[in-house]
Amino acid sequence: MQKSHPSGEQRELALMRAVLFTFFASGAASQPLGSFIPYLQASYGFSYDLSGVLLSCQSIGNLAAVLLTGILPAYLGRRRSILATSVWMAVGYLVFASGIGAPAALIAACLMTGIARGGNSNFANTMMSTLTEPRATRGYNLSHGCFAVGALLSPLLMVFCTSRWPALGWRITACVLLALVVVQVAVYARMGLPPETHKKRGLGGVDHSFFRDKRFWLGGAMLFCYISSEYAIMGWLVTYFTDTGVLSLGQSQMMSSLLWLVIFCGRMFGAAMSGRIPVRRLLLVDGVGFFACFLVVFTSRTPGMVIAGIIGVGLFMATIYTSAFSLGSAAIRGNDFGSAAMNFTGSIGGVITPALVGFIAGRFGIQAGMGLVVLLTGLLLASILLSVWATRDASAC
């Protein structure tokens, strides 16, 4: 009896399901570092400066991985490349779970988690770009929605564990996430992958034509401003609320989860509306709303206004990344190096900004540090306006 082979649609759906799980795990494991910071400060006496360095080290690892995952597939193939980067998340969480308080060890762990996060992100975006439309655009939103679910649940896990076991709760959280990322690596090892686009091994077989497409650069500019803002908000939000006295530590952790809950809902809405709302129009609404709502968060001194601002921030930032990447994806369709290059332009901001916020906070206070994020959200809005104007005649948008 002849064995039946899955259709192209079935292969795409199977690929999408696998990517959704792995990106869920990436979201769960990438988010807690910002929540760990208050516990690291309390346990080991870390300063704002060192805390900012830890956050930026994750971004540095992410940036390094973005570069590596654009090049490694040309030599190792996609599967070996993603396995080579994703395994470091498990190693990093092993350090967190062990309770080692040496700054050098924690810096290394943050670098490792950043490497894995960057590898996961580039792999997920590249895999979704291989899907046919409108499944590709829907896949971007669903994958980042799953990332948001993971990022939503891990702070809740942290709240539960630290309330039950105040001294060890953050390390127990690390143990649970360690188990999750081990499963993630196993899925990477077994999932079916689409054919690779490299005509030959090495960089000589890589298509660089996307560099001549303005949509690539416009998407990269928006990603730079967005990732700068996102990394700073996610890394410093809990510390900002607690140190300014606006919220307690527990309430601040809940705000982190609320933010990710709203982001998840926004991304699911974006997935449902794919193809119905023009990307340029969605970006305009998101850019204005994100800037306005973060101003509310920054200036609010009552829990009610903070909650309202957080809901607005999460709702409007939910689809900025996916929309910006979608704008540039026509230039990099299925191109590992192109996807990495676009992620790289955005990830530079994620390296610089968390440390810069910590540097400013250490000298002028956390309020001044977060003031930098207000500026970044304004620059994001400006980059969106430029992109919308520059692509006003592009039928793809």
Q: In the prediction, which pLDDT does 189 show? A: 93
Residue type, 6: P
Per-domain boundaries in the chain? 14-190+210-390
Mean pLDDT (the chain) is 83
Secondary structure class of 348 (helix, strand, coil): helix
Please report where in the chains the tokens 């939103």 appear, as a residue. 141
Q: In the prediction, which pLDDT does 378 show? A: 94
Q: Report how far residue 345's alpha carbon sits from residue 215's, in angstroms, rounded to the nearest whole number.
A: 13
281-323 pLDDT, tens digit per residue, is 888 999 999 999 999 999 998 889 999 999 999 999 988 987 8
Nearest Cα neighbor of 259 from 114, 152, 182 is 152
- Check residues 148 and 275 and name the one with the higher pLDDT: 148
Does CATH number 1.20.1250.20 belong to domain 14-190+210-390? yes
pTM, full prediction: 0.69
156-196 pLDDT, tens digit per residue, is 898 899 889 888 888 899 999 999 999 999 999 998 888 76
The stretch 27-32 carries a mean pLDDT of: 84
Q: Yes or no: say if 25 and 184 are a contact pair by the CB < 8 Å rule.
A: yes
Nearest Cα neighbor of 276 from 315, 317, 319 is 319
**Over 60: is that where the pLDDT of 396 sits?**
no
Q: Structure tokens of 122?
A: 């580039």
Looking at the chain, the whole-number percentage of residues with pLDDT higher than 70 is 88
Q: In the prediction, which pLDDT does 275 show? A: 66
Looking at the chain, the whole-number percentage of residues with pLDDT higher than 90 is 27
Q: In the prediction, which pLDDT does 132 show? A: 73
The stretch 214-238 carries a mean pLDDT of: 85
66-110 pLDDT, tens digit per residue, is 778 777 887 888 899 899 989 999 999 999 888 887 889 989 999
Secondary structure class of 147 (helix, strand, coil): helix
How many residues are given for the chain?
A: 397
Q: Which helix (H) or strand (E) holds 296?
A: helix 279-299
Residue type, 120: N
Q: Yes or no: say if 361 and 52 are a contact pair by the CB < 8 Å rule.
A: yes
